[in-house]
Amino acid sequence: MDEVNSFPGVVLLTLNMSYEHKNKADELQGLDSKEYIKEDEAKSGSKFKQYLAAIICSILPFAQGTVVGWPSTTLPLLQSEDTPIGSTPMTEEDASWIGSLICIGAILSVPVFSYLVNNQSRKIAGYIAALPLIPSWLLVIFANSKNMLHSARFIAGLSCGGGTVVIPLFVAEISEDSVRGALSTLTVLFFNGGILFAYCAGSYFRFHSLACICLTLVILFLVCFYFVPESPVFLMSKNRRNEAVKSLRWLRGDDQGAISTEIVKLRRISQENRDRMEATGLKEALLSRATIKGLTIGLGLCLNQQLSGLYAVLVYTVNIFQESGSSVSPYVATILVGILQIFGSYIASLLVDRAGRRLLLVFSNLCMTTCLGFLGLYFYLKQSTDVSAYGWVPVVSLSTFALFFLIVSEVFSERVRNIATTLCVCSLWLLMFLVGIGRLINDIILTASSQPISIAMIMGGERGLGKGNSIRIEVTTCADMSHVSYFVIRGT
């Protein structure tokens, strides 16, 4: 199996074709045996245009990364007396919706784009995924009320959800085996690059100028994407062989051997998928032990990613550093976090095939636990102790946290992959929404008696412990103190 990185955290998959049983495959697909070329005898096609196409496709994740990173530097401005929108500062509740509404849009759009990529066209789905960003940024540019900003964020979410589905799949399908892994990581790197760009540009450009710059990125993608051919995998699945050959000729160059080999592979995969789907009913496949186990792993990884606080860190980074009282400028520290996020993605892409998924996952979780534990302790001590001498702790903790973040999953069969990954991606965006809107569910009170105990569970910080004969579970977002939540048990 080959992995296809999906930038918010879930990984889609493509199947490698087996070269065994050549005669049977040729008979099934009606291929001339002369058309078959063994893998070790075929030359790889030209890689330049594959890299070029992958970079063009990754402009959309870059543009969507600016959507995620945009609130980090703009929310402090919107909540200040010098707010560019309206005459009064934005409230904490309104700010929470700024960070969370894109998740609602994404949840609604993921099933739609899952249908589009499988039944219409990968390229058309790519265009549709990018288009909502245009009215979104126009609303930001001409916004004169918080409602316009909220509408803009929701519309941007429609694009982010679609990009999650379309771009990683498209990049994987236009890449040959030898470079697929490297090109698939570009979507993650560009997405993190877009977040860093928003951090940097937001620190030095004015509110409306930043929105105009982000809008040009969308237009750049729409123009360049026109020159990228349709996915040859999709074309072969629709029996459009001549168009698939033209697409491969653009992507692989004029190496007829590489193109012929690829056509054989795609035909065989298409036939194997049809046979597999005819042999197993959808309901039976969904209820199979393998699928249930895969869903458990996939949803568990989604929980792991978002309950680590990643999304909250990306959206509210400046607020975190402002609350921390760090001696480092909040904007400079935010840029540092963005840089290390890219560095971490790059290192992960180099190690994932060498060290193995499980080892990296365990290692990254241990590192994140340590970083967030130190940050939670810092905020706890800050309530009663002078920690000005340790202002570097939040910067180091958050930066190292970003460096070690990694999630990879390879769990679903072809028969149920579309439904299962759609469910996982929707769950991921739902968790991101709950993390972003955490300020609105700040206090949950359970009656009981206990001695004062504080527990940090890989997550966050706390503010304002309650007094009295009760157990108080306070969920505090990173804009208040740290990342996601810090379960605090407090009694008399």
pLDDT winner (highest mean) among 25-39, 130-144, 236-250, 275-289: 130-144
pLDDT at 276: 64
**pLDDT, tens digit (0-9, with 9 covering 90-100), for 1-11:** 444 444 443 33
pLDDT at 214: 96
Phi-psi category of 253—alpha, beta or left, where left has phi over 0 and alpha has psi -120 to 50? left
More confident residue, 416 or 265: 265
Q: What is the CA radius of gyration of the chain?
A: 24
Tokens describing residue 263:
């056509």
Residue 219 has pLDDT above 90, yes or no: yes
Distances in Å between the Cα of 439 and the Cα atoms of 53, 99, 157, 168, 435 are 41, 11, 20, 32, 9
**Which residues contact residue 37 at a Cβ distance below 8 angstroms, ignoring those fewer than 6 apart?**
257, 260, 261, 264
Residue 62 has pLDDT above 80, yes or no: yes
In CATH, 2-308+405-439 is 1.20.1250.20: yes
- Interval 468-488 mean pLDDT: 28
Backbone angles phi, psi at 388, to 5 degrees: -60, -30
Tokens describing residue 167:
């771009």
**Which element (helix H / strand E) includes 58?**
none
Give the Cα-Cα-Cα angle 374, 375, 378 (nearest 5 degrees): 85
- Interval 468-489 mean pLDDT: 28
Spans of all domains in the chain: 2-308+405-439
Going 287 to 290 to 292 to 295, the CA torsion angle's sign is negative
Helix (H, G, I), strand (E, B) or coil at 114: helix
- The proportion of the chain whose per-residue pLDDT surpasses 90, expressed as a percent, equals 19
Distances in Å between the Cα of 97 and the Cα atoms of 102, 139, 263, 432, 491 are 9, 16, 48, 12, 32
Least confident of 158-172, 206-220, 269-283, 302-316: 269-283
Sort 388 into a burial class: Cβ within 10 Å, 0-12 / 13-18 / 19+. exposed
* Beta pairing, strands 453-454 & 12-14: unpaired
Q: Rounded to an integer, what distance in angstroms lies between the CA atom of residue 178 and that of residue 353?
A: 13
pLDDT at 438: 57
Q: Rounded to an integer, what distance in angstroms lies between the CA atom of residue 357 and that of residue 452?
A: 39
Q: How confident is the model at residue 64 (pLDDT cuts 50, 70, 90)?
A: very high
Asked if residues 376 and 487 have their Cβ atoms less than 8 Å apart, the reply is: no
Backbone angles phi, psi at 237, to 5 degrees: -65, -20
Q: Rounded to an integer, what distance in angstroms lies between the CA atom of residue 61 and that of residue 197?
A: 12
Q: How many residues does the chain have?
A: 492
Longest pairwise C-alpha distance within the chain: 83
Q: Rounded to an integer, what distance in angstroms lies between the CA atom of residue 172 and that of residue 412?
A: 16
**Nearest C-alpha neighbor of 168 from the set 428, 386, 425, 449:** 425
Q: How confident is the model at residue 352 (pLDDT cuts 50, 70, 90)?
A: low
Q: Rounded to an integer, what distance in angstroms lies between the CA atom of residue 167 and that of residue 60?
A: 8
Q: Rounded to an integer, what distance in angstroms lies between the CA atom of residue 169 and that of residue 126?
A: 10
Average pLDDT of the chain, as a whole number: 71
Q: Position 295: which residue type?
A: L
pLDDT at 2: 44
Q: Rounded to an integer, what distance in angstroms lies between the CA atom of residue 324 and that of residue 397?
A: 12
More confident residue, 110 or 394: 110
Q: How confident is the model at residue 454 (pLDDT cuts 50, 70, 90)?
A: very low
Distances in Å between the Cα of 229 and the Cα atoms of 15, 58, 165, 187, 252 are 21, 15, 18, 18, 12
Q: Rounded to an integer, what distance in angstroms lies between the CA atom of residue 193 and that of residue 413?
A: 32
Least confident of 37-41, 413-417, 428-432: 37-41
- This prediction has a pTM of 0.72
Q: Rounded to an integer, what distance in angstroms lies between the CA atom of residue 159 and that of residue 106?
A: 7
